Amino acid sequence: MKKILIVDDEQDIVESLKFVLEAADFICYCAYNGEDGLKLAKDIMPDLIILDVMMPKINGYKISRLLKYDNKYKNIPILMITARSQEEDKLIGEETGADEYITKPFDLEDVVKTVKKYLG
Amino acid sequence: MGKILFVSNRLEKIQQYAGIFDKKPYEFFTASDENSALETVDINNPDIIIFDSDFNNLKHLLKNLKSMTTSTSFILLVKDEKIEYDITKYINVFLTDEMSETLISSIISANLKTKHSLEQLSDTNKNLADSLYRLNVLYSTSSQFAGSLDKEKLVDYMIEGLDKSLSFDLTCTLAFCTEKEPVLLLNSLYEISDELLSALKLRTVLNYKSLFEDKNPPFEIDIDTLKIVKTVKYPANRFTFTLFQYDNMFAPISLGDNFFGCIEIFKETPFTSDDATCFQTIAQQVSLPLKSATLYQEIKETNLKLEKLERLKSEFISIVSHELRTPLTAIKNSLDILSGGKCGEINDSGQKFLSMAQRNVQRLAGIINDLLDLSKIEAGKMDYHFANMDIHSVIDYVKSSLSVVAKEKGLNLISEETPDLPEIYADSQRLEQVLTNLVSNAIKFTPEGKTIIIRSHLADASQLNAPNCFKNDINKLSGKYIVVGVEDQGIGIAEKDLLRAFDKFAQIENSLSRKVGGSGLGLPIAKQLLQAHNGAIWCDSELNKGSRFYFAIPVSTVGAEAEKNLILN
């Protein structure tokens, strides 16, 4: 079974993503801040990461950059969740390497479909 | 009136000339040797000197006298025609022994007249030169005034201008414009003692108060804490209290109700009426730029406030965007999981309410997106990706994405397009947004069983036809346009409300938009997006019969130019 890491400081959103992804037969690992997320990513080597942009400690863009510039992790697909906020707009000019962007509020079915596109 | 010196050793001639000139209107002096001649000139400064050509060592005397006098007329009395050439160069007029007394008298009189005229002319010239200098000072001072919006500098320019044109000994300027508290600027030739300074302070404050008589002065002044800025040209010398015996002038610096201060100036020699005019002119001239500088400062402060407000607005929008979307996502996800039956069966009634909740979540998401779009457009931060494109692809996309919704509502969504339309230079995503909004509106407002048609055609700006309220927008257009229309058979819009449909404030209030959902910001956003494309949007409607919304995008010239360049290359 494929492993998915969900990193978001919003527990409710993590919960709902975990629910639908587990129902679709994926194993989900969860982290609630950037620091834990990055650590967990290196520990468990997930097959895909769902990453929120605005998070305490290390933001999603930074995690994405750190992983995508590391040969060991660069092939892990990253789905970035964005709220299209202005702070994000300021950051978005930078190269993050994320594979997909999902705008809040997203459709859970779409997320599952996108995940399956990479792990199908 | 004229002073005449006669220099001669010939007694008979001295007597003859005394007979003619030793009476009014003349003052007559004689000298029979060089020393007495020099002495008389030194003391009496004669207008005319008549030299006898017989006089001993005449050339030497002439040379000496020439260096002493500048405007005295030299006349030579000639005995015979033998005159040394060297002497003639000092002489203005010649007389001869044979001349009659009448002739001599008229020659001298004419000479005096000429001399007086010349003196007057020279005085006038001097006055003119003074006036010209003063005008130059006024001109350069007003140029300086015009070139500055800094109040402190303006006051400095005023004092500098006064110094140049009036050469004052001291100025006391009470200025209310440089800082929040008033400042007393003292520009002095010599050092001012503490006692004199106190006296000047008191005098200036009294002068200031006298300007307002019964009324309250615009600013309260505490004489003990009044700030002083002193500039002294020659600190080695000191002014004494005799300063108050000097001539002085005083003027307020104000424009209408705006009061900027007052100025008093002191000078040892009396001021002329020209000085007074010059002083008043400069004091008045500085008021207008001071007023402009005040306004400029106010505008600058207002701008700072506006910038702060703009920042707050951006932060607010950011919060709206992020903080609302996140909980909304959690709600939406939970509803989706529930309605998908993933937590167990939901009965029909439960499903109805779940759908209601889902619809409203969707609506809220739409409102947030619209608010964000509008704020981005207004801040000029909307990203556009312009490219040459085909309008058919936009129509096809919108038609296919909304046909399901139309069908669900029992509506017929069709398109009637003109084939082979030229390309437009546009952002396809933004045009899809505009058309999606127009078609969604049509779907919302059209009852079951009716038809919605999307049309496209090529038109010249002059052929575009719109209700009067949109004429201004249409008249701005020129050249060829692709026009896309969305026609419905819905409830329509009253003519008086046509323009309001594009007004963001009016729509938020609109109860209809509340009933059918949506933020009501779709059309205002569409209007702004079309403006960014140098296009236009308008509508035409009949109540209860239907509405026709149109937008026009200019035909691309980019492609044609690129093609031309390719051929040239």
Round to whole Å and give the CA distance between A63 and A78: 10
Percent of chain B with pLDDT over 70: 94
Q: Say yes or no for a CB contact (<8 Å) between A19 and B337.
A: yes
H/E stretch holding B293: helix B287-319
Residue B562 has a pLDDT of 53
Residue B467 has a pLDDT of 87
**Omega of the bond prior to A105 within 30 degrees of 0, cis?**
yes
Q: Say yes or no for a CB contact (<8 Å) between A85 and B332.
A: no
Round to whole Å and give the CA distance between B306 and B289: 25
Decide if A105 touches B, using CB distance below 8 A. yes
Round to whole Å and give the CA distance between A53 and A106: 14
Mutation to test the B interface, candidates A16, A22, A80, most B Cβ within 10 Å = A16
Mutation to test the A interface, candidates B324, B326, B338, B343, most A Cβ within 10 Å = B326
Give the model confidence (pLDDT) of A33-56 as tens digits: 999 999 999 999 999 999 998 888
Residues contacting residue B41 through CB under 8 Å, at least 6 positions apart = B5, B49, B65, B68, B69, B72
Give the model confidence (pLDDT) of B450-465 as tens digits: 999 999 999 998 888 8
Cα B286–Cα B288–Cα B292 angle in degrees, nearest 5: 115
- Give the pLDDT band of residue B502 (cuts 50, 70, 90): confident
Cα B119–Cα B120–Cα B126 angle in degrees, nearest 5: 90
State the Cα torsion B350-B356-B360-B366 to the nearest 10°.
Answer: 120
CB burial of B389-418 (b: ≥16 within 10 Å; e: otherwise) equals bebbebbebbbeebeeebeeeebebebebe
Q: Say yes or no for a CB contact (<8 Å) between B333 and A108.
A: yes
Q: What is the DSSP letter of B322?
A: I
Closest residue in B to A16 (Cα) is B333
Least CB–CB distance from A16: residue in B321, B322, B334: B334
Helix A34-44 crosses helix A60-68 at what angle (to 10 degrees)? 30
Is the pLDDT at B564 greater than 60, yes or no?
no
Compute the nearest-CA separation of B378 from chain A (Å).
14
Compute the nearest-CA separation of A12 from chain B (Å).
6
Give the model confidence (pLDDT) of B10-69 as tens digits: 899 899 999 999 888 899 999 999 999 999 999 988 999 999 988 888 888 888 888 888
Round to whole Å and give the CA distance between B368 and B329: 12
- Give the pLDDT band of residue B410 (cuts 50, 70, 90): very high
Compute the nearest-CA separation of A43 from chain B (Å).
28
Give the model confidence (pLDDT) of B306-360 as tens digits: 989 887 887 787 677 778 888 899 999 999 999 988 888 999 999 999 998 998 8
Decide if A113 touches B, using CB distance below 8 A. no
Q: Say yes or no for a CB contact (<8 Å) between B326 and A84.
A: no
Task: Give chain B's mean pLDDT.
Answer: 87
Establish, for the pair of chains A and B, how many residue pairs have beta carbons separated by less than 8 Å: 63
Q: Say yes or no for a CB contact (<8 Å) between A20 and B342.
A: yes
Average pLDDT over residues B234-244: 88
Residues of B in contact with A82 (CB under 8 A): none
Residues of B in contact with A19 (CB under 8 A): 337, 342
Residue B159 has a pLDDT of 92
Least CB–CB distance from B361: residue in A13, A89, A105: A105
Average pLDDT over residues B127-143: 89
Task: Give the A window 62-101 contacts with B, CB below 8 Å.
Answer: 83-89
Least CB–CB distance from B321: residue in A16, A19, A85: A85
- Coil, strand or helix: which one is B260? strand
Residue B514 has a pLDDT of 47
Decide if A110 touches B, using CB distance below 8 A. no
Residue B87 has a pLDDT of 81
Least CB–CB distance from A87: residue in B318, B337, B381: B318
Mutation to test the B interface, candidates A90, A101, A107, A108, most B Cβ within 10 Å = A108
- Asked if the ipTM is above 0.85, the reply is no
pTM of the model: 0.54
Residues contacting residue B324 through CB under 8 Å, at least 6 positions apart = B364, B368
Round to whole Å and give the CA distance between B78 and A27: 138
Residues of A in contact with B336 (CB under 8 A): 16, 107-109
Sheet holding B247-255, edge to edge: B227-238, B183-191, B170-175, B258-267, B247-255
Q: Phi and psi (nearest 5°) for B164?
A: -65, -40
Decide if A23 touches B, using CB distance below 8 A. yes
Neighbour count for residue B425 (Cβ, 10 Å): 17
